[in-house]
Amino acid sequence: MKTRLLAGIAGALILPLAACGSSDDSGDGWTFTDDLGTEISLDAEPERLVVQSSMAAALTDLGLGDKIVGTFGPLTNAAGEPDSQVAGLDIDSVEDVTGEGDYGDIDEEAVGTLDPDLIITSAYLEPQLWYMSDESAETLRKKFDIAVVSFDGTNQTEMLDATERLAEALGADLDSPEVTQAHEDFEAASQAVSDLGSQLTESGKTILGASADTDSLYISNPAVSQDLNYWVEELGLPIVVPELEKETDYFETLSWENADKYSGDIILYDDRIGEAGLAIFEQQPVFQLIPGAAADAYVPWTSVYPPSYRAVADTLERLAADLQPYV
């Protein structure tokens, strides 16, 4: 579950570090101070970018797709389809420089062939870089500048705003019709989910956020996930909070024998598990004692997604549509 935990952060995390990003594109070149305090100085605005895949999708949403020449990190899911965290990215238009080693390995030779002006990734738990190992980062920094957007300690909108600050420094037009529409759609979708949250609360219904494998059930902690936290604190969805040893834990692990420890009228399941994973829930007799499971009230939760208003608006629109039948 290490990969799940990492993505669950992506799918966690009110330090003001993200607000520290700044840039200057004067006649003397392009400078930028990233969210980890790294000062980057280039002769000109970066035009060739190698970007972690979910950040690449977000920057594409913000009009910078033509600058992205390579990506690292997941592009496709187990079914060979575009992964949810790269929604909106044309995965055939960029070169994948992900290495063949362990998590975070990057093919430095492939990166060098692309001759990037800048490499971009994010951090959910500083100083750990997203889909970039310490070893790869150390090697790459000898030849290239790396800009990091930090999501550590941010809420949902702070996370999205942090991405936009970097995008604007790279030349994105945040007043473009596309970006403006994305913000409007985000607000409208948020309101739709909020209305459903009020109805669910008034009727006394609850939502159980969960993931599963053949051995265990994982009850998600909404406090540490940017999206779930936003849904609870800002939109009022009645998501169950599990009992945790530490408030910063991402989930409580239960054996299937104890799968009915918590109740829920709707099961919000991590959609990365796919249809085969969803069947795991359905095959567990104790879990079927939960009202939401007994009623087959399963709603997919897109827990990994590009950190852009466009992507999150789309996620919220789907969530509202999926929740509606169970209100």
Q: What is the pLDDT of residue 20?
A: 47
DSSP string, 28-79: TEEEEE-TT--EEEESS----EEEEHHHHHHHHHTT-GGGEEEEES--B-TT
Residues 295 and 313 in one domain: yes
Q: Is the pLDDT of residue 211 over 60?
A: yes
At which of 119, 149, 173 does a domain end?
A: 173
Q: What is the mean pLDDT of residues 129-144?
A: 97
Stretch among 13-22, 231-240, 245-254, 311-320 having the lowest mean pLDDT: 13-22
Residues 206 and 262 in one domain: yes
Residues 292 and 208 in one domain: yes
- With contact defined as beta carbons under 8 Å apart, do 78 and 147 qualify? no
Distance, in Å, from the CA atom of 53 to the CA atom of 48, rounded to the nearest integer, reads 15
Summarised one tens digit per residue, pLDDT across range 82-110 is 999 999 999 998 999 999 999 999 999 99
Distance, in Å, from the CA atom of 166 to the CA atom of 62, rounded to the nearest integer, reads 10
Q: What is the pLDDT of residue 25?
A: 54
Q: What is the pLDDT of residue 273?
A: 76
Stretch among 26-30, 182-186, 211-215, 265-269 having the lowest mean pLDDT: 26-30
At which of 121, 152, 173 does a domain end?
A: 173
Q: What is the pLDDT of residue 13?
A: 33
- With contact defined as beta carbons under 8 Å apart, do 125 and 152 qualify? yes
Residues 230 and 145 in one domain: no
Summarised one tens digit per residue, pLDDT across range 286-303 is 999 999 999 999 999 998
Q: Is the pLDDT of residue 36 over 90?
A: yes
Question: pTM of this prediction?
Answer: 0.89
Averaged pLDDT of the chain: 91
Q: Is the pLDDT of residue 306 over 90?
A: yes
Instruction: Name which residue leads in pLDDT, 110 or 24.
Output: 110
Show the tokens assigned to 68. 């992205």
At which of 147, 173, 199 does a domain end?
A: 173
Instruction: Name which residue leads in pLDDT, 17 or 198.
Output: 198
How many domains are contained in the chain?
2
Summarised one tens digit per residue, pLDDT across range 63-81 is 999 999 999 999 998 788 8
Residues 257 and 221 in one domain: yes
Summarised one tens digit per residue, pLDDT across range 104-130 is 999 999 999 999 999 999 999 999 999
Q: What is the mean pLDDT of residues 38-61?
A: 98
Q: What is the pLDDT of residue 5?
A: 36
Residues 159 and 215 in one domain: no
Instruction: Name which residue leads in pLDDT, 19 or 266.
Output: 266
Share of the chain above pLDDT 70, in %: 92
Q: What is the pLDDT of residue 162?
A: 97
Q: Which of 1-15, 22-36, 217-231 has the highest mean pLDDT?
A: 217-231
Q: What is the pLDDT of residue 74?
A: 95
Residue with token string 């239960």: 254
For 140, the domain range is 2-173
Q: Is the pLDDT of residue 276 over 90?
A: no
Residues 292 and 145 in one domain: no
Phi, psi at residue 24, to the nearest 5°?
Answer: -145, 120
Summarised one tens digit per residue, pLDDT across range 216-275 is 999 999 998 999 999 999 999 999 999 998 887 889 999 999 999 999 999 999 888 777
Residues 43 and 166 in one domain: yes
- With contact defined as beta carbons under 8 Å apart, do 54 and 307 qualify? yes
Distance, in Å, from the CA atom of 219 to the CA atom of 137, rounded to the nearest integer, reads 33
